[in-house]
């Protein structure tokens, strides 16, 4: 796993956005955006899903109630990735917030349709 | 040496033949699942499966491979065989972790497989945890 700042940062503060990669998944986090945004590029599977889970957990620990996942560059997701999305949606909903999936690819959108998640999670950029 | 390199250089790891199909041997670790997905997509593409069927297959193979390698012993290997039988794609796999009980599929995985696979089964035998998947080019009905 590698991490690198993707933009200017001040000493003592986390870079924003921050970029973390694990093999076939790159996660770019804009924690200070309103709402916070996580952009995913690559493939979300049992190997990479824990990386996304960690990033979501960190954002929730900061007290955010809304979160946007930018999925435009996500080419694959399986049940392990869907479980992360479902968990995030549930946690945010419990706090009165919303998980929004932005611009899912055709492949990912089809999976959201098949599982019925498309009716339960806010989706923009279709 | 990575599984990719093994597959490219060691003919004992990947075998191809018109009727025998393709056999992929990879470490039973989640980081190598993408190789099983890639092989599935390539094999189905050669059989003229459509885009949606190939996507279905990638996910189904991923789910079943993930199930059989979950919590397996270090050093275990996953062998996946892809075959074309009368125009129907058959995929079977075994994770040589003989100490394991039959794999358990998560609820979401079961839901996906019910929608994406024409037939599937998971189990365990003397060789380890196993799965079998059938994917037809289009629904029969």
CATH of B3-135, one of 3.30.565.10, 3.10.310.40, 3.40.190.10, 3.10.20.30: 3.30.565.10
**What are A31-62's pLDDT values in tens digits?**
999 999 999 999 999 999 999 999 999 999 99
Mutate to test the interface with A, among B2, B29, B30 (most CBs of A within 10 A): B30
Cβ neighbour number for residue A24 with a 10 Å cutoff: 17
Mutate to test the interface with A, among B28, B55, B65, B70 (most CBs of A within 10 A): B55
Domain edges within chain B: 3-135
Q: CB–CB of A47 and B62 under 8 A?
A: no
Q: Tell me how close the Cα of B113 comes to any Cα of chain A, in angstroms.
A: 10
Q: Which distant-in-sequence residues (6+ apart) come within 8 Å of B8 by Cβ?
A: none
**What are A91-126's pLDDT values in tens digits?**
999 999 999 999 999 989 999 999 999 999 999 998
- The CATH topology of domain A16-124 is Transcription Regulator spoIIAA (3.30.750)
Phi-psi region of B84 (alpha: psi -120 to 50; beta: other; left: phi over 0): beta
Nearest residue, CB atoms, B108 vs list A23, A43, A82? A82
- pLDDT for the residue B19: 58
Per-residue DSSP letter, B106:
-
Q: Which distant-in-sequence residues (6+ apart) come within 8 Å of B135 by Cβ?
A: B44, B49, B53, B56, B57, B60, B88, B89, B91, B117, B118
Domain edges within chain A: 16-124
| Nearest-5° Cα angle at B116, B115 to B120 | 95
pLDDT mean over B34-44? 97
- The per-type count for chain B, helices as H runs and strands as E runs, is 4, 6
Q: Tell me how close the Cα of A33 comes to any Cα of chain B, in angstroms.
A: 31
């Amino acid at each position: 796993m590698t991490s690198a700042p993707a933009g200017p940062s001040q000493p003592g503060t986390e870079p924003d956005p921050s970029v973390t990669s694990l093999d076939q998944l790159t996660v770019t986090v804009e924690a200070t955006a309103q709402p916070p945004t996580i952009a995913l590029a690559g493939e979300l599977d049992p190997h990479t899903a824990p990386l996304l889970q960690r990033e979501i957990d960190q954002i929730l620990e900061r007290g955010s109630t809304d979160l946007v996942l930018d999925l435009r560059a996500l080419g694959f997701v399986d049940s392990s990735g869907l479980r992360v999305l479902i968990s995030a949606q549930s946690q945010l909903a419990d706090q009165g917030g919303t998980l929004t999936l932005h611009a899912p690819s055709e492949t990912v959108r089809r999976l959201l349709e098949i599982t019925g998640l498309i009716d339960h999670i806010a989706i923009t950029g279709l | 040496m990575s599984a990719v390199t093994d597959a490219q250089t060691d003919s004992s790891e990947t075998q191809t033949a018109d009727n025998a199909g393709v056999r992929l041997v990879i470490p039973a670790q989640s980081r190598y699942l993408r190789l099983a997905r890639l092989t599935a997509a390539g094999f189905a593409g050669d059989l003229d499966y459509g885009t949606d069927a190939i996507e279905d297959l990638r996910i189904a193979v991923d789910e079943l491979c993930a199930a059989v390698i979950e919590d397996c012993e270090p050093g275990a290997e996953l062998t996946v065989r892809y075959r074309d039988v009368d125009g129907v794609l058959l995929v079977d796999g075994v994770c040589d972790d003989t100490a394991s009980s039959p794999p358990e599929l998560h609820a979401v995985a079961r839901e996906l497989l019910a929608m994406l696979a024409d037939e599937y089964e998971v189990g365990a035998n003397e060789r380890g945890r196993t799965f079998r998947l059938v994917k037809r080019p289009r629904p029969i009905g």
